[in-house]
């Protein structure tokens, strides 16, 4: 499951409930967990002193979920360790991982909006809404989600896969890119495809979306069919791009990623 659990209801409040919470505890941008990768109890965090942030960010069933954060450099208390969120993928339970991902995005937003971007005054966080409000000019700043498209292009039994210079060596994936202000998602898919590999495509088919908290993306994935053009990898962005037969694929992204689910979906369809 690559999403917040269905029984999770998001909310945002600076008013903390009395009930025992699920604790999403963060020092700097590292997550505090037990050595066997479970979320810490509230009592285990007592030694850390007054947190920088302590807010309610939703409920898992009836259990309140609290984002509690301390500044970088704070020492982890006895019995807990700090780990990056990426490293916790597949080790922290699914529910805990995706609620942690939400916590991390909200924390990044809170830290990035301590002052008003218009007039510079220190902001105040609304009591029951994820909004940082400027007391001087009333400007309101909400958490940002950045849409990014992903597209897997096919030509007969072949898939167009590419690698960017920051991928693990040998790994190829579907194309991806951020939506520009003013642009539709569909236009973005066509534009990015042309920019990254120089081919034209048709018949975009919706696949699925996935939140990606590094730092605040929402991946929106499509299948598409090739029309025309020879592959010309975009300099600086695409290290290599090729057509791969579904029976001779390179190393692919991790099974948990939406890219891999998209590729597996195409393979199943083409083999079926």
**Annotated binding site for a divalent metal cation, which residues?**
176, 192, 196, 237
Omega cis (within 30) before 107: no
Q: What are the start-end ranges of the H helices in the chain? A: 85-88, 94-112, 185-197, 258-271
Structure tokens at 258: 């939406």
| Positions at the binding site | 86, 116, 119, 129, 134, 137, 142, 176, 192, 196, 210-217, 237, 259
Asked if residue 1 binds Zn ion (CB under 5 A), the reply is no
218-247 residues near Zn ion, rule: CB under 5 A: none
- Beta 146-155 vs 175-178: how paired, if at all? antiparallel
- Stretch of residues binding Zn ion (CB under 5 A), selected from 51-59, 115-123, 158-166, 223-231: 115-123
Structure tokens at 193: 């495809």
The rounded distance, in Å, linking the Cα atoms of 27 and 31 is: 6
Q: Where are the beta strands (DSSP E) in 79-157?
A: 81-83, 124-125, 132-133, 140-141, 146-155
- Stretch of residues binding Zn ion (CB under 5 A), selected from 5-13, 130-138, 163-171, 259-267: 130-138
The rounded distance, in Å, linking the Cα atoms of 162 and 128 is: 44
Q: Using CB under 5 A, which of 1, 16, 47, 119 touches Zn ion?
A: 119
Q: Using CB under 5 A, which of 115, 139, 157, 261 touches Zn ion?
A: 139
Binding mask 57-96 for Zn ion (x = CB under 5 A): ----------------------------------------
Q: Using CB under 5 A, which of 3, 16, 137, 145 touches Zn ion?
A: 137
- Select 38 or 136, whichever has its Cβ closest to Zn ion: 136
Q: What is the largest CA-CA distance in the chain?
A: 62
Asked if residue 136 binds Zn ion (CB under 5 A), the reply is yes
Contact between 57 and 12 under an 8 Å Cβ cutoff? The reply is yes
Supply the minimum distance, in Å, between the C-beta of residue 135 and Zn ion: 8
Asked if residue 124 binds Zn ion (CB under 5 A), the reply is no
Q: How many amino acids of this chain bind Zn ion (CB under 5 A)?
A: 8
Q: Using CB under 5 A, which of 91, 111, 114, 118 touches Zn ion?
A: 118
- 218 burial (CB, 10 Å; 0-12 / 13-18 / 19+) is middle
Structure tokens at 119: 């007039």
**Which residues of this protein are in contact with Zn ion, per CB under 5 A?**
116, 118-119, 121, 134, 136-137, 139
């Amino acid at each position: 499951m690559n999403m917040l659990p269905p029984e999770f209801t998001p909310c945002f409040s600076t008013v903390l409930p009395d009930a025992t919470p699920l604790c999403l505890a963060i020092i700097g941008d590292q997550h505090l967990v037990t050595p066997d990768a479970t979320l810490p109890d509230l009592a285990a965090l007592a030694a850390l002193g007054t947190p920088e942030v302590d807010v309610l960010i939703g409920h898992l069933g009836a259990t309140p979920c609290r984002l509690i954060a301390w500044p970088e450099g704070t020492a982890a208390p006895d019995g807990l360790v700090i780990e990056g969120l990426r490293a916790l993928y597949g080790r922290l339970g699914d529910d805990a991982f995706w609620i942690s991902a939400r916590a991390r995005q909200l924390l990044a937003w809170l830290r990035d909006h301590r002052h008003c971007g218009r007039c510079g005054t220190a902001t105040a966080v609304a009591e029951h809404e994820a909004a940082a409000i400027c007391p001087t000019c009333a400007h309101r700043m909400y958490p940002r989600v950045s849409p990014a498209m992903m597209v897997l292009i096919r030509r007969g039994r072949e898939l167009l896969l590419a690698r960017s210079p920051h991928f693990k060596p040998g790994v190829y994936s579907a194309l991806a890119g951020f939506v520009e202000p003013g642009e539709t998602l569909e236009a973005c898919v066509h534009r990015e495809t042309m920019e990254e590999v120089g081919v034209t495509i048709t018949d975009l088919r919706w696949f699925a979306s996935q939140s990606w908290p590094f730092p605040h993306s929402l991946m929106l994935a499509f299948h598409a069919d090739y029309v025309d053009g020879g592959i010309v990898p975009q300099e600086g962005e695409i290290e290599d791009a090729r057509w791969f037969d579904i029976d001779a694929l390179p190393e692919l992204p991790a099974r948990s990623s939406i890219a891999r689910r998209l590729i597996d979906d195409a393979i199943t369809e083409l083999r079926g």
